[in-house]
Structure 1
Amino acid sequence: METTAKLYSLNYSNIKTYLFALLFVAGNIAFPQLCHLIPAGGPTLLPIYFFTLIASYKYGFRVGLLTAILSPIINHLLFTMPAASVLPAILIKSSLLAGTAALAARYVKKISLLAILAVILSYQIVGSAFEWALVGDFFAAAQDFRMGIPGMLIQWFGGYALLKAIAKL
């Protein structure tokens, strides 16, 4: 299933880059707070990645990267979540997500369930390999695949639905 959409690649010299990034960072602050009301909501629902996916796919790598870097750092500073021990892995995965989502959108030029699935699997697999190298524990690095399947499904279908809803903007 694919939907034609207006997809952008904003530059750092464009004020819209920063405005959209701030909007998506706000989403990546609010959504995790809601998810953390559920026991194990963070590791299960993976909320810190959701708006990074949307930002990158719709508005390009620069908006996505700003969202990917600022969201976990601001969340950590405000709420100590994510914990400092997992912050490097989350920053790596978020940055990979920004890159793969922007690349997929640029390549397919449409909102596609298959492309979004490829993005999610790519950043999770490569990110888990980086996390394994960081922590030296495969079981810990594979946590998103053990617990985070619901979150990946939310990213896949919820991301697709939200991107479709804002397709013409």
Structure 2
Amino acid sequence: METTVKLYTLGYSRVKTYVTALLFVAGNIVLPQLFHLVPQGGVTWLPIYFFTLVGAYKYGWKAGLLTAVLSPLLNSWWFGMPAPAVLPAILLKSVLLAVGAGLVAARFQKVTLPLLLAVVLFYQLAGTLGEWALSGSLFTALQDFRIGIPGMLLQVVGGYWVIRKI
């Protein structure tokens, strides 16, 4: 299933980049709060990554990178989630997601389910290796693959739908 959509590459010198990133950061604040109403909702649905994927794919890695860094930091500061102990791993995965999504979108200039799946697998696999190095625990590093498959699927299918609609 392939859809050609208008994709953008916003630069840091444009106000639109910061406004766009702030809108996606807001989404990455609200969505996790909703999912955290359900037991294990955060670790199952991985909501803090959703709008980072959408923002980076649709508006470029620079807007995505702002979203990727600000979302976990503000969520942790305001709500205590993610917990400060796991913040480095979350930030690593968020940054990998933003850069990966932005580069794939720029390279292929289209959105497809396989491309989004490749982006999600890239950030999860590379992020798992980084989290393993940070935590020293392979079991902890594999948590997203043990629990978060529904969230990864939501990112791919939901992200595809949202990217096409905005």
TM-score range, shorter chain: over 0.9
Residue 56 of structure 1 aligns to which amino acid in structure 2? A
| Residue in structure 2 matched with residue 29 of structure 1 by the alignment | 29
Unaligned runs of 5+ residues in structure 1 are none
TM-score (norm 1): 0.97
| Residue in structure 1 matched with residue 105 of structure 2 by the alignment | 105
Q: In 2, distance between residues paired with 1:108 and 1:118?
A: 12
| Residue in structure 1 matched with residue 12 of structure 2 by the alignment | 12
Unaligned runs of 5+ residues in structure 2 are none
Q: In 2, distance between residues paired with 1:130 and 1:8?
A: 29
Structure 1, residues 106-125: CA drift from partner, whole Å, max 9, x if none? Answer: 11110111100000000000
Structure 1, residues 5-53: CA drift from partner, whole Å, max 9, x if none? Answer: 1111111000000000000000000000000000000000000000000
Q: In 2, distance between residues paired with 1:149 and 1:72?
A: 20
Structure 1, residues 66-105: CA drift from partner, whole Å, max 9, x if none? Answer: 0000000000010000000100000000000001000110
Runs of 4+, deviation exceeding 3 Å = none
User: CA RMSD for the aligned pairs?
Assistant: 0.4
| Residue in structure 1 matched with residue 156 of structure 2 by the alignment | 156
Q: In 1, distance between residues paired with 2:25 and 2:87?
A: 16
What count of residue pairs does the alignment treat as equivalent? Answer: 166
| Residue in structure 2 matched with residue 116 of structure 1 by the alignment | 116
Cα deviation for residue 165 of structure 1 reads 1.1
Q: In 2, distance between residues paired with 1:116 and 1:76?
A: 27
2:11 is paired with a residue of what secondary structure? coil
TM-score (norm 2): 0.99
